């Protein structure tokens, strides 16, 4: 059992580092494209995992099914169009994970199609890694699309709301971190499965389409 857990951890760590790095790089790069170089000046427009990993968020993703990277600093006042550029920058992270999952799914299909031509010792590590990496990217994408502040989904939803509704949503967003923490604690201590009930179905459906269809 201990060996299995270690083996799983050795696959999860690089998959996790890849998913978080792609996610945060997409935020930083898109912000730079839209006129805000705050992240670029801090070295965050980088594919180096060390500049993007958040210690607590990484531990949560390794031990559980959710997590996050180090938030990318953004100054909306530098955007050309603050409202919609904030939507683009926020959505860039989850979108990058969805695209990564699609590319990894394609790679997995190619590997399986050439199963008999690839050395068995190579497949024993590659196939489980690809499966875990696909799941990691899907989890990170859909978790961050939840419309709860400070997750990306709250910024995306806010951008599409009329001005009056945005003000109401801003007041609700003040409770976002508490609500999010409450959900995570309830799931962690009482195993209610609230988070998995919300993001589990779309993750399962897309994983099936990418890997098994």
59, 100, 102 from 177: Cα distances, Å? 19, 28, 30
CA distance 46 to 168: 36
Q: Which of 35, 41, 58 is CA-nearest to residue 136?
A: 58
Among the listed residues 24, 120, 124, 174, the single catalytic one is: 24
CA atoms within 13 A on the CB side of 103: 10
Token pair of 170 as six digits: 């801003």
Q: Which two tokens stand for residue 59?
A: 């531990």
3-state secondary structure 91-149: HHHHHHHHHHHHHHHHHHHHHHHCHHHCCHHHHHHHHHHHHHHHHHHHHHHHHHCCCCC
Which phi and psi angles does 212 have, rounded to 5°? -110, -15
Is 24 a catalytic site residue?
yes
| Catalytic sites, residue numbers | 24
């Amino acid at each position: 059992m201990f060996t299995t857990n270690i083996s799983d951890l050795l696959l999860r760590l690089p998959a996790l580092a890849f998913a978080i790095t792609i996610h945060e790089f997409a935020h930083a790069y898109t912000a730079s494209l839209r006129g805000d170089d705050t992240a670029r000046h801090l070295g965050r427009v980088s594919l180096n995992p060390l500049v993007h990993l958040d210690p607590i968020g990484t531990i949560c993703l390794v031990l559980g099914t959710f997590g996050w990277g180090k938030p990318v600093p953004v100054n909306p006042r530098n955007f050309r169009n603050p409202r919609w550029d904030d939507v683009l920058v926020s959505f860039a992270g989850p979108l990058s994970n969805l695209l990564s999952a699609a590319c990894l799914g394609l790679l997995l299909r190619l590997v399986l199609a050439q199963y008999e031509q690839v050395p068995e010792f190579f497949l024993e590590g590659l196939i489980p890694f690809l499966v875990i990496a696909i799941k990691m990217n899907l989890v990170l994408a859909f978790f961050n699309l939840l419309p709860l502040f400070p997750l990306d989904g709250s910024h995306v939803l806010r951008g599409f709301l009329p001005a009056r509704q945005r003000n109401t949503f801003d007041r609700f967003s003040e409770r976002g971190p508490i609500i999010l923490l409450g959900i995570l604690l309830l799931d962690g201590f009482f195993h209610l499965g609230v988070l998995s009930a919300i993001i589990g179905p779309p993750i399962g459906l897309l994983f099936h389409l990418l890997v098994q269809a």
